[in-house]
Amino acid sequence: MAAGSSAPDEGPRQTPSLFKAQRAVWSFLVPRHRRWLLALGTAMPLLAAFETAVLGFLALYVSAVANPDAFAVSRIAAHIRGAGIPLPEDQRTLILFLSGLVVACVLIKNACVSLFSYGITKIAESISAYFGARFLQGAIAMPYEWHLTRNSADLATSLAWRDLIGAGLVRNSLQILSDLVLIAFLSVTLIAVRPVVSLAVLAAAGGGGLLIFRWIGPQLDRKASIYRSQATSINREALQILAGIKEIKLFGAGARLKSAVARMRDLSTIQAARSLLVRMPRDLLEFLGIAVLAGAVAGMTMRGDASPASIAGTVTLLAVTAWRVLPAVTRVAHTLSEARVTLPMTSQILGLLERFREEERRAAAGAEPALPVRFTRSLRAEGLGFTYAGRAAAALAGIDFDLAKGESLGLVGPSGAGKSTLADLLSGLLAPTEGRLLIDGIPLTAAGRSEWMRMIGYVSQAPFLADDTLAANIAFGEPEDKIDRELVAACCAQAQLAEVVAALPRGFDSTIGERGIGLSGGQRQRVAIARALYRRPLVIILDEATSALDAASEALIRDTIAGLRGAVTMIIISHRLGMVRACDKLLWLEHGRIAMFGEAALVMSRYTGPE
């Protein structure tokens, strides 16, 4: 599989159900998040019972205001007095008393609802942050070879969708459950008070809502799957266009840009259709609810056996309940629609997280106690070979050589000969599929690979430079307050960056721009060398570090390397023989095998590769 392509065997092959996605999320959560969710789940029925009581009291309040005399002699008033709550005898005082009580109840209820909503948002955002951190940690922990088969734009898109787990799936699920509990409490109350009318209303509203959602749901699933595919593809192409801005401006975007623009337009149409489908259940249910309520009133009126007061009381109860039930039902439909829309994206990031977890388990099962690595004498390869996953042909085979500490080794050969793969094996980024690498005569195993990698300084052809200060780029990965500025200055001096630092407006604290745009190509390479030196490495690997530089810049890099010779062991990959002429030894590769290895002068005399 080509580097940068997407691995086809990862992530779920089809969008899971909402319940399966919820179970998957639950399996990743830490105990703290689970306790929060259980606490919110416990609070739901208590809050629903309180809301139901407040709504019942609102209906009672309306009835009392409409007919104070009837309320004063009603069974409800008798029960209230029986509970030890005195009711004023004067009608005006009674209404004022009930008005103050209803305001207090609604105020307390709204405060509880607000606090509950805050809890949902808090836990949802916390889970989003947790999944984002877990995604980054999992991706970094994956073997280097896995990254060679992934497209970085796809990973960035999946990371951006982390909010769909916490702020989307978790919050939506909690909101749905909360609304369903409230609907259940209100429905039971309605049925207890007016069983026939309530059952008819609930059956009509519930059945209608189910039919609406079953009709719209599959269309939402289809649009969501198309959206995920299109969004991933567009983000990938957009990042590639932005990464190649120089070539785009020089040669023109052409068909590539037109294709991206056309697909963005298609995506806008899909998004508009999604928004319409998400909103449609809410609008239809609102209409259905009003129609059912009006139908209930008409039915009671047509029967003729209900008094106006009875009809008014029932309508009041239905209206007050509908005031909460209809928004809750429409929220459930709307939230379910939103959840179905986000499921394809959620399933993609959950699939990757599951893959990361599998790798963590595999690594933990095969983990050996960390072993110290000592490099005091020699580095040796015995029968070293490597075959990339999914490829039949070996990238390297039968590599044998030895290198004393402090010596320099040049790797030469045509493109595709396996030089960079060998460098990745020597650095510990890749584990050999054949043979072994020995450090001071001891085979390098997985238990010692992390320790060995800390001894390596690496300089690539196009080093990654962050949009940060020069000091932060040299002390890459160190917190700002932990940077050893004296060591930074010493590394800059070794890398012949002193004049560059002096010319910058704020010295080490100057921002060098994304990808080091504020520096020349040679200066960027010397920053990368300074970064490698900051680690105090025992081995420095330079992988085509001067291939994109002019002669003058290359000469400066050669001088820098010459100053390091003997102080550290160096492995230099280069198409240009001028970079490796002064090496102690040369390894000439052809088609993944050694064509010749030995003293630099001897290999140079017979070398027939590119110069």
Say if 196 falls within a structural domain. yes
Q: From edge to edge, which strands make up the β-sheet containing 593-599?
A: 456-459, 539-543, 569-573, 408-412, 585-590, 593-599
The phi and psi torsions of 438 (rounded to 5 degrees) equal: -115, 130
476/422 same-domain check: yes
- Give me the CATH number covering residue 311: 1.20.1560.10
Q: Are 358 and 409 found together in one domain?
A: no
pLDDT value for 242: 58
d(CA 147, CA 450): 18
Name beta bridge partners: 227: none
Looking at the structure, tell me whether residues 120 and 249 fall in a common domain. Answer: yes
Looking at the structure, do residues 392 and 359 belong to the same domain, yes or no?
Answer: no
Q: Which residues contact 87 (CB under 8 A, 6 or more apart)?
A: 72, 77, 80, 81, 94, 97
Maximum Cα interatomic distance, the chain, rounded to a whole number of Å: 117
Is 205 contained in some domain? yes
Same domain, 359 and 387: no
The enclosing H or E element of 401 equals strand 396-404
**Domain-ending residue, one of 315, 337, 365:** 365
**Whether residues 489 and 349 fall in one domain:** no
Closest CA to 195 of 313, 293, 314: 314
CA atoms within 13 A on the CB side of 161: 25
pLDDT tens-digit readout, 129-142:
888 888 888 888 88
Low-confidence spans in the chain with pLDDT less than 70: 1-16, 70, 73-74, 83, 193-297, 299-327, 329-330, 333-334, 337, 365-370, 514-516, 546-550, 552-553, 609-611
- Same domain, yes or no, for 441 and 520? yes
Residue 467 tokens read as 């949009």
User: Which of residues 365, 398, 413 is at a domain's end?
Assistant: 365
On whether residue 11 sits in a domain, the answer given is: no
Whether residue 343 is found in the same domain as residue 405: no
**pLDDT digits 0-9 by tens, 28-55:** 899 999 999 999 999 999 998 888 888 7
For residue 104, which amino acid is it? A
User: Given the structure tokens 């025992």, which residue do they identify?
Assistant: 538
Please name which of 231, 182, 192, 438 lies closest in space to residue 330, comparing C-alpha atoms. 182
Closest by Cα among 220, 168, 227, 212 to 333: 212
Handedness of CA 584, 588, 594, 597 (dihedral sign): negative
What angle (nearest 5°) sits at the alpha carbon of residue 539, between those of residues 578 and 489? 90
9 is a domain residue:
no
Tally of domains in the chain: 2
Domain for residue 407, yes or no? yes
Q: Is residue 493 part of a domain?
A: yes
- CATH value at residue 570: 3.40.50.300
Q: At 405, phi and psi to the nearest 5?
A: -60, 135
Same domain, 334 and 404: no
Same domain, 267 and 386: no
Q: Residue by residue, what is the 3-state secondary structure of 136-187? A: HHHHHHCCHHHHHCCCHHHHHHHHHCCHHHHHHHHHHHHHHHHHHHHHHHHH
Residue at 584 is within a domain: yes
Domain span at residue 478 reads 378-606
Q: Please say whether the beta carbons of 576 and 547 come within 8 A.
A: yes
Are residue 193 and residue 151 in the same domain, yes or no?
yes
The answer on 314 and 437 residing in a single domain is: no
Give the DSSP letter of residue 437: E
**Amino acid at position 602, single letter:** L
Q: Is residue 5 part of a domain?
A: no
Decide the pairing of beta strands 456-459 and 585-590: unpaired
- For position 449, what pLDDT does the model report? 84
CA angle (198 as vertex; 196, 202 as ends), nearest 5? 125
pLDDT of residue 489: 87
Of 343, 365, 387, which residue constitutes the final position of a domain? Answer: 365
